Structure 1
Amino acid sequence: MGGGVGGEGVRSVLVVAAHPDDEVLGCGGTIARHLAQGDHVHVLILAEGATSRSEQRDRTAAGEQLLVLSAAAREAHARLGSTSLAMLDFPDNRMDSVHLLDVVKAVESHFRKADPDIIYTHFPGDLNIDHRITSEAVQTACRPQPGNRLCQVLFFEVPSSTEWRMSGNNGFVPNYFCDISSMLDRKLAALDSYALEMRGWPHARSVTACEHLARWRGASIGVEAAEAFVVGRMLDALFMARHL
């Protein structure tokens, strides 16, 4: 188990995801574990998650889908018990049509509110363009400036994006794990809230595949189930406390 979960004191955690369901796919079990330990977990979802299913972005045509996704996200985080959930309106799978600075400023606003000790976000090498932009925006928003108490930035994997990036790019090689053996059922229950976003087995974004992945990540470190991360930043919390 990595040090991001299980330390002393109540911490503020910020999870920044591109689309509704990414946050649960990537770190739903870790969210549940933080909450069980008394930490505050704030979730920020940047893109609306539905309008890419049409040739042109049309929020009116996608209105019902957007309502369903919003309700699914609220239900998922009610099941997890998340401290707060914010959903923004960046264009689904078209975030490259938005100035990166606009995305950064949106993340910065929530960063200031949450004042996080730990951030979880997308792996920067994902296939999905929105994932990559989200990761870059988070890295920009949480650059290490004086007075910033952020100690950890961790990149999660999202099935059907992270592993779909073809060879020739830096792949996801986890070096940080969270034991979610006691939280796997909560993660799967939260994914059930996103049932319309999930696919049937053997699709990588099926509930069965997600459970297999958690079991495999767990077996990699000798526990029943785990979530895996790549470390973006890791600072000594005691050192940070002395210098703030």
Structure 2
Amino acid sequence: MTSMIDRIGRALVIAPHPDDEVLGCGGVMALLGDRGVDTHVAIVTEGRAPAYTAAHLAQLVKETEAAHAILATTEIHYLGLPAAALDQVAHAGLNHMLASLIVELAPDTVFVPFGGDVHRDHQLVFASALVAVRPAGPTYPVRLLAYETLSETNWNAPGVTPGFTPNVFIDVAEGLERKLAAFSAYASQVRAFPSERSIEALTALARLRGACVHRTAAEAFMLLREVG
């Protein structure tokens, strides 16, 4: 049986903030890197003064580069929009930035944050990504998946906001250690257990998602569209 990983020829992971991509699909990215698949990451936002110092931002860029060296990411695309303030950016502007990147890279598979995440930036990136990947012409991404982000996806309001109900589970047993190493590279973002943003919590989620489908580790996604 052909796995979904084997059907991906070029991937784009859209992350609202640095580390969302590793939390959501770092295992898949590691496996794609093993296969020599072009894997691009778009980091939509960056911190701005006065909430973030120049030293902190420089450190975060170093951490991002280190994390993606572990995952063998093809290229990181920094869109540079204001973190925790995407609601102040024209929706059409974000749509255009993501659509332009889709045209430039021509990925067949796009990973996006889940639209029901509690963080407003995640919701807005999700909405703009849906616009950017519309099948409005002869070429477009044929596969669109939403990933879960610990500390964001799990804090929805049950019965009020959308719940994350995965229907795709990808075995990442061979990529889990690199996912954890990549998250560890984001040293400024890692917290001590029992924080959700801890190595232990991330490992536990991978084990739980794996156990759901009788695997030792998995990442879970919602398949939003696939064109055969």
Question: Is residue 84 of structure 1 aligned with residue 87 of structure 2?
Answer: no
Counterpart position of 1:226: 218
The Cα of 1:38 is off from its aligned counterpart by 2.3
Question: Is residue 211 of structure 1 aligned with residue 203 of structure 2?
Answer: yes
CA contact (8 A) 2:27 2:219 kept: yes
CA contact (8 A) 2:134 2:140 kept: no
Identity of aligned residues (%): 35
Question: Is residue 159 of structure 1 aligned with residue 150 of structure 2?
Answer: yes
Counterpart position of 1:15: 13
Q: Cα distance 1:149–1:143, how it changes in 2: closer, same or farther (>3 A)?
A: closer
Measure the CA separation in 1 of the matches of 2:109 and 2:148.
17
CA contact (8 A) 2:133 2:140 kept: no
For residues 11-67 of structure 1, what are the alpha-carbon distances to aligned partners after superposition, in whole Å with 9 as ceiling and x for unaligned? Answer: 11011110000000000000111121221101100001x34xxxxx537x5211110
SS of 2:4's equivalent? Answer: coil
Counterpart position of 1:240: none
SS of 2:50's equivalent? Answer: coil
Match of 1:42 among 28, 40, 43: 40
Counterpart position of 1:242: none
Question: Is residue 95 of structure 1 aligned with residue 86 of structure 2?
Answer: yes
The Cα of 1:4 is off from its aligned counterpart by 2.8
Counterpart position of 2:189: 197
For residues 127-159 of structure 1, what are the alpha-carbon distances to aligned partners after superposition, in whole Å with 9 as ceiling and x for unaligned? Answer: 001111111111101101221241100000000
SS of 1:89's equivalent? Answer: strand
SS of 2:79's equivalent? Answer: strand
CA contact (8 A) 1:126 1:165 kept: yes
Query: 1:120 is aligned with what amino acid?
Result: F
Counterpart position of 2:170: 178
SS of 1:233's equivalent? Answer: strand
Measure the CA separation in 2 of the matches of 1:130 and 1:198.
20
The Cα of 1:3 is off from its aligned counterpart by 4.4
Query: 1:74 is aligned with what amino acid?
Result: E
Match of 1:169 among 158, 161, 166: 161
Measure the CA separation in 2 of the matches of 1:145 and 1:94.
29
Q: Cα distance 1:2–1:122, how it changes in 2: closer, same or farther (>3 A)?
A: farther
CA contact (8 A) 1:4 1:118 kept: no
Aligned length: 227
For residues 65-86 of structure 1, what are the alpha-carbon distances to aligned partners after superposition, in whole Å with 9 as ceiling and x for unaligned? Answer: 1101111111100111001111
What TM-score, normalized by structure 2, do the two folds share? 0.95
CA contact (8 A) 2:156 2:162 kept: no
Counterpart position of 2:106: 115
- Alignment RMSD: 1.6
Q: Which runs of 4+ in 1 moved over 3 A?
A: none
Measure the CA separation in 2 of the matches of 1:20 and 1:3.
28
Which blocks of at least 5 consecutive residues in structure 2 are unaligned? none
Which blocks of at least 5 consecutive residues in structure 1 are unaligned? 52-56, 237-244
Comparing 153-162 with 83-92, which one deviates more in the overlay? 83-92
What TM-score, normalized by structure 1, do the two folds share? 0.89
Q: Cα distance 1:88–1:146, how it changes in 2: closer, same or farther (>3 A)?
A: closer
